[in-house]
Amino acid sequence: MIERTIGQISGMIEARNDLSAYADVPIKGASIDSRKIIPGNLFVPLKGDKTDGHQFVEKAFEQGAAASLWQEDVPHPPEGKPMIIVKDVLKALQELARAYRNELTAKVVGITGSNGKTTTKDLAASMMGETCRVQKTAGNLNNHIGLPLTILSLKEDTEIAILEMGMSGKGEISLLTHIAKPDVAIITNIGEAHLLDLGSREAIADAKFEITEGLKEGGLFIYPGNEPLLVQRASRLKQVRLKTFGETPDNDLYPLHIHLEEKGSTFAVSGYPDEPLFLPVAGKHNIMNALAAIHAAKEFSVPFSDIKEGLKSVKLSTMRMEWRKGPKGSTVLNDAYNSSPTALRAVIKFIESMDERREKILVLGDMLELGEDEKKFHREIGEEINPEKIEYVYTYGRLGKSIAKGAEENFPEGRVFSFQDQEELIAALLEKITGKEIIAVKASRGMKMEKVVEALTVEGDEQPKTK
């Protein structure tokens, strides 16, 4: 993490006060939460919708903070304490991260996309970690606050930093990439998430493509070669290199000999047809994420043997294609971290392709942020579910009801159920399960479908968790 004196930090950002009296005070790391201060931290008091971090500056010092930022338009800064007065605290945090990144020797991989950002990050970190000292975005710290904090947490001897970049609208990826200045930029895909804010897939592609704005000259841009919206935009790039991945041989990297299994996939990649790889993450869509990560690993000369080992031993972030033991011997697939039409279709296709001797149950909640056509997107998903492959469909939420209406077009009566209450949904599921089922749970994060997963999860010989 960042280790600098107050004097050095005042040279990295625009301080508005005289800090000569505290110039030699050492700072180690930064925190925006006074409850999580580690002695020596710089406290960053951000203004939120409900609270103002300036109210907790004194508490931060009590917890061991070495110094604190303070926004100049906020009255009554504490006296006799190392206060760094700045025009805007958030911008100062971002500027400090930008300056620290410029001082580091680490190479940076920036990853964005509608789906698969976190999985690709985890895969790349696991592959490169076999050879290099790697740090990656922790959890979901991928926005205009989280990414600067992630950069400030990087160790001086980190060789590769893998940074996830999320967005809520146009211009945010541009901000993040200019802070991170990636040597490698990856776009995993262009989906429908953020249609509510951006209005079209073309606008989403523009927003994601902003990641190339901060890409270093001579850097590498990795993108899906079967996505026309990105192919068009990539053709206009200059002074950077391009690598594509995808299902077809016209990509620079594509899969061979794919064998999909319940707990993962075996496949080879172009250029290494006799080197089978095992990815312990279900779904063909995750093979695409693996291809993007392999491109990045090869950029940093990671041996293929280490790529192979890192892929095999990857540990994904929670609630992403995570298998659980369900009641009576059933199996639960927890992919409830987020959802979009693209991601949901991929999971449904995967479940439909699984062991025909087991009944499959889909438990689907609302996909959020899809804009004015949200009901249409949900109904289309329902209409596409194959009743010969899926035994039951359970939906939850206002929009989930549209999935159910779509599925009812093709399913016999008594196999599609819609709920507005999670407890009722859970009770109905538990009554239906006999033990031979595969149960897939997916929805947008705001639907809190992890409660359903937990209710269905069995540890050892325990019974399902119910209230």
179/270 same-domain check: yes
How far is residue 130's CA from residue 334's CA, in Å, rounded to a whole number? 28
How far is residue 440's CA from residue 244's CA, in Å, rounded to a whole number? 31
As a whole number, mean pLDDT of residues 16-32 equals: 95
Task: Report yes or no on 94 lying in a domain.
Answer: no
Give the strand order in the sheet containing 83-86.
30-31, 42-43, 67-71, 83-86
How far is residue 306's CA from residue 131's CA, in Å, rounded to a whole number? 7
CATH classification at residue 267: 3.40.1190.10
Return the higher-pLDDT residue of 118 and 160: 160
Instruction: Give the dihedral sign, CA 435/438/444/445.
Output: positive
Task: Report yes or no on 97 lying in a domain.
Answer: no
- Which tokens belong to 234? 């990539």
CB–CB of 329/456 below 8 Å?
no
CATH classification at residue 17: 3.40.1390.10
144/49 same-domain check: no
Task: Report yes or no on 194 lying in a domain.
Answer: yes
CATH classification at residue 378: 3.90.190.20
Return the higher-pLDDT residue of 460 and 334: 334
304/332 same-domain check: no
Number of Cβ atoms within 10 Å of the Cβ of 390: 22
Tell me: the pLDDT tens digits for 320-373?
A: 778 889 999 899 999 888 888 988 998 899 899 887 788 999 999 999 988 888
Last residue of a domain, one of 312, 331, 357: 312
Residues paired with residue 222 on neighbouring β-strands, in sequence order: 186, 243
Report the mean per-residue pLDDT for the chain: 92
Last residue of a domain, one of 284, 312, 340: 312
How far is residue 270's CA from residue 276's CA, in Å, rounded to a whole number? 11
Task: Report yes or no on 171 lying in a domain.
Answer: yes
Range of the domain at 346: 322-456
- Residue 459: what pLDDT? 67
Lowest mean pLDDT among 18-27, 187-196, 399-408: 187-196
Helix (H) or strand (E) holding 89: helix 89-103
Ramachandran quadrant class, 2 (left: phi over 0; alpha: psi -120 to 50; beta: rest): beta
Residue in the block written with tokens 């919206």: 229
- Residue 231: what pLDDT? 95
Task: Report yes or no on 200 lying in a domain.
Answer: yes
CB–CB of 387/352 below 8 Å?
no
- Residue 233: what pLDDT? 95
Q: How far is CA 454 from CA 154, 343, 458, in A?
A: 34, 22, 8
How far is residue 268's CA from residue 431's CA, in Å, rounded to a whole number? 42
Tell me: the pLDDT tens digits for 185-240?
A: 999 999 877 676 777 889 999 999 999 999 999 999 999 999 999 999 999 999 99
- Which tokens belong to 397? 């939420």
Task: Report yes or no on 461 lying in a domain.
Answer: no
22/124 same-domain check: no
Instruction: Give the dihedral sign, CA 122/128/130/132.
Output: negative
Kindly report the backbone phi and psi dihedral angles of residue 295, in degrees, each rounded to the nearest multiple of 5, phi listed first.
-55, -45
**Residue percentage of the chain with pLDDT more than 70:** 96
How far is residue 18's CA from residue 26's CA, in Å, rounded to a whole number? 17
Q: 112: exposed, middle or buried (C-beta count within 10 Å: 0-12, 13-18, 19+)?
A: buried
128/244 same-domain check: yes
Number of domains in the chain: 3
- Residue 269: what pLDDT? 96
Tell me: the pLDDT tens digits for 77-128?
A: 999 999 999 999 999 999 999 999 999 999 999 999 988 898 999 999 999 9
pLDDT band, very low/low/confident/very high, at 147 (cuts 50, 70, 90): very high
- Residue 319: what pLDDT? 58
Residue in the block written with tokens 């469909």: 393
Task: Name the nearest CA neighbour of 378 among 394, 351, 400, 407.
Answer: 400
Task: Report yes or no on 317 lying in a domain.
Answer: no
Number of Cβ atoms within 10 Å of the Cβ of 77: 16
53/170 same-domain check: no
How far is residue 2's CA from residue 151's CA, in Å, rounded to a whole number? 9
Tell me: the pLDDT tens digits for 261-309?
A: 877 889 999 999 999 999 988 788 899 999 999 999 999 999 999 999 9
- Residue 461: what pLDDT? 37
304/326 same-domain check: no
Residues paired with residue 244 on neighbouring β-strands, in sequence order: 223
226/364 same-domain check: no
Task: Report yes or no on 99 lying in a domain.
Answer: no
How far is residue 343's CA from residue 191's CA, in Å, rounded to a whole number? 8
Q: What is the pTM assigned to this prediction?
A: 0.81
120/48 same-domain check: no
141/271 same-domain check: yes
**Residue percentage of the chain with pLDDT more than 90:** 77
How far is residue 178's CA from residue 211's CA, in Å, rounded to a whole number? 8
pLDDT at 466 over 80: no
235/370 same-domain check: no
Residues paired with residue 43 on neighbouring β-strands, in sequence order: 31, 68
261/368 same-domain check: no
Q: 415: exposed, middle or buried (C-beta count within 10 Å: 0-12, 13-18, 19+)?
A: middle
Number of Cβ atoms within 10 Å of the Cβ of 414: 7
Last residue of a domain, one of 66, 89, 112: 89
How far is residue 405's CA from residue 245's CA, in Å, rounded to a whole number? 36
- Residue 281: what pLDDT? 83
How far is residue 313's CA from residue 345's CA, in Å, rounded to a whole number? 27
- Residue 94: what pLDDT? 98
CB–CB of 416/428 below 8 Å?
no
Kindly report the backbone phi and psi dihedral angles of residue 462, in degrees, each rounded to the nearest multiple of 5, phi listed first.
-70, 160
pLDDT at 462 over 60: no
